[in-house]
Structure 1
Amino acid sequence: MSSSPIANTDNRSIEALRAAAARDPKSSVREAAKQFEALFMQEVMKSMRAATMSSGLMENSATQLGTEMLDTQFASKMTGLPGGLSDAITRQLQRQMGITPDKTDKADTAKPAALPTLTRKNIAPHVQEFIQKHDSAAKAASAATGIPASFMIAQAAHESGWGKREIVAKDGTNSFNVFGIKAGANWTGKTVEVKTTEFVDGRAQKVVAKFRAYDSYEAAFKDYGQLLGSNQRYAQVVAQAQQTQQASASTGISSPGGAERFAQGLQKAGYATDPEYASKLARVINTTVRVQRALA
């Protein structure tokens, strides 16, 4: 009976890993840990399959091979995640070999540490992940405009449903437009047309609108800052946000009512047609500030 092609692939990977370890032990530690975790996950998947009752219908050597390959892909997807088994193995191997952990390794394993604490505070994991994901882009835009980074992240969260409703093209390409900024006559960049909800005379209607598209989230945050900073109708909103930012910087405490004033100012300036936009946005801003304090 011939050996499994999956087993042959694993054998080749292990031999390649041995050769790499002989040349550079330090760089091979993490890869060795991932290989071990992948093998472990494959065994877990195999045990789960064995414990599941099969019908016997439509099953043959070809379907069994397909199942094995699918399980291998699942195992690979679950391997190497931050805070997972491979991280623990990497640290153990590094200690045994007398290798000083890389700074990136420390950062990777440190991020998930705050998650259990935040979960106990009723903060969903996807909320924390969204805030951390856009933190640097928001801070860069804040430095250029004076608008608090927490306000920007919160508005991006509100417009995109914490990243779950991002604007994508028909072919699935991400527009990175987490602020829902429409493409007006003066916009010369890329665009995406999608169906959206607009409020006309207080009633929600589905319409097709053209939105701006960017090459990255950083570009989206930068454009959002430029939009508010260069448009006269947002001048008062920006000024109030800058005052909030300055007060927070000098006292270390967020200005009371700053979130509400910013949200109400955007609604009055016509940023959105939803009559409840200000109250919804203010709640998200307060959530974002609370999470950032917990992460600090």
Structure 2
Amino acid sequence: MCAFPTKGLSSAPQGLAADTRTLDSLRNVAKNDPRGAAKEVAKQFESLFMQEMLKSMRQATQSSGLLDNEGSQLGTELLDKQLSTQLSGQPGGLHGAILRQLERGMGLDKAGTHGAQAVQGSGAAGQAAASRALAAPLPGQAANAPARADGASATAAAAPRGKAHEFIAAHQGAARVAEVATGIPATFMLAQAAHETGWGKRDIRKADGSPSHNLFGIKAGSDWKGPVAEVRTTEYVGGQPRQVVARFRAYASAEESFADYARLMKNSPRYAQVVASGSNAQGFAQGLQRAGYATDPAYADKLGRVIDTTLRLQRAMT
């Protein structure tokens, strides 16, 4: 897998940061441009992360078996590598969080002017720092308040700026993978996840208190064979809110939640019009409401406001 060169880093290596020779090359580059080298490593780690996400999504999708062979599998792997390379390094992506961890581990100041002594061995140290960044808990996972599956809360658009930035940075990569699968802009899906969870502050918890990672409030119907979480939530019956106990799907990670949401949008005839109009924010929000995604009569208006907020935050982060 190759990574795009960092702008202004003409001598940046094109291989993976996990490769020994590439690490040596990165160390040499870091002597003259430590911040540029850190950016390159962050992009490469994000690319690896995206590739694993694509692999997991394909494994979770049932194949026909008619055309499966070693050649098709190799072609799929090469396609995933190319997609992960193209998706990495975008504004608001995971590489930003990895880069901050790398720069702290390398001892870089704000101007990035520390000398060669500060970055000796920074390739291995940076690799460990990036691994810690990937393993760190996502913002909002420690919240105890139950989520609103119907998105009835009107507070999502007014989330604290810092919290919203963390939420976008944490889930931007998974949203981009879902965008490839559905054609729905990643920003719209990020906004819907933010609306359903209050920017990560409300988490649907399982009986043992562990998180369900259900970012979209998807309920567990009779066809769902995975783990579930039962929580009290608000549903609208005849336009009036009522408290009910409902079963929701539970996932091992937020990435699985995005992947399952993408499958729901792509494979369910109920949401065909949502996918067809997914490039338009108003059409996306209203399409979800018409399809009965949520019972809140004001769901489309609330989601539209959160989409506007997400777009503004993403522009500020670039």
The corresponding residue for 1:279 is 301
Report the Cα distance in structure 1 between the residues aligned to 2:315 and 2:128, rounded to whole angstroms: 24
* Equivalent of 1:175 in 187, 212, 224: 212
Aligned residues of 1:123 and 1:291 also touching (Cα < 8 A):
no
Task: Determine which structure has greater relative contact order: mean sequence separation of CA pairs < 8 Å that are 6+ residues apart, divided by chain length.
Answer: 2
CA gap of 1:104–1:127, structure 2 versus 1, over 3 A, is: farther
**Cα distance, 1:97 vs. partner?**
2.5
The corresponding residue for 1:208 is 245
* Equivalent of 1:259 in 281, 291, 296: 281
Report the Cα distance in structure 2 between the residues aligned to 1:83 and 1:172, rounded to whole angstroms: 31
CA gap of 1:90–1:268, structure 2 versus 1, over 3 A, is: same
Report the Cα distance in structure 1 between the residues aligned to 2:168 and 2:118, rounded to whole angstroms: 36
Q: Secondary structure at the match of 2:119?
A: coil
Report the Cα distance in structure 2 between the residues aligned to 1:148 and 1:96, rounded to whole angstroms: 42
* Equivalent of 1:91 in 108, 115, 125: 108
Report the Cα distance in structure 2 between the residues aligned to 1:98 and 1:162, rounded to whole angstroms: 37
Aligned residues of 2:181 and 2:262 also touching (Cα < 8 A):
yes
Report the Cα distance in structure 1 between the residues aligned to 2:115 and 2:258, rounded to whole angstroms: 42
| Residues 1:235 and 2:272 are matched in the alignment | yes
CA gap of 1:98–1:160, structure 2 versus 1, over 3 A, is: closer
Aligned residues of 2:191 and 2:303 also touching (Cα < 8 A):
yes
**Cα distance, 1:88 vs. partner?**
8.9
Stretches of structure 2 lacking an aligned partner (at least 5 in a row): 1-26, 28-98, 132-158
Between the aligned residues of both structures, percent identity stands at 50
Quick check: 151-160 or 97-106, which moved more? 97-106
| The structure with more radius of gyration | 1
Report the Cα distance in structure 1 between the residues aligned to 2:105 and 2:224, rounded to whole angstroms: 49
**Cα distance, 1:140 vs. partner?**
0.6
Q: Secondary structure at the match of 1:134?
A: helix
CA gap of 1:106–1:176, structure 2 versus 1, over 3 A, is: closer
Which TM-score applies when normalising by structure 2?
Answer: 0.54
Aligned residues of 1:196 and 1:208 also touching (Cα < 8 A):
yes
Quick check: 127-136 or 164-173, which moved more? 164-173
Matched residue pairs, number?
188
Report the Cα distance in structure 2 between the residues aligned to 1:94 and 1:217, rounded to whole angstroms: 37
| Larger relative helix fraction | 1
**Cα distance, 1:99 vs. partner?**
2.9
**Cα distance, 1:200 vs. partner?**
0.6
Q: How does 1:5-44 map to 2 (within 5 A)?
A: none
Q: Secondary structure at the match of 1:126?
A: helix
What is the Cα-based RMSD across aligned positions, in Å? 3.0
The corresponding residue for 1:193 is 230
Which TM-score applies when normalising by structure 1?
Answer: 0.58
Q: Secondary structure at the match of 2:115?
A: helix
**Cα distance, 1:155 vs. partner?**
0.5
The corresponding residue for 1:142 is 179
Stretches of structure 1 lacking an aligned partner (at least 5 in a row): 1-25, 27-81, 109-121, 245-257
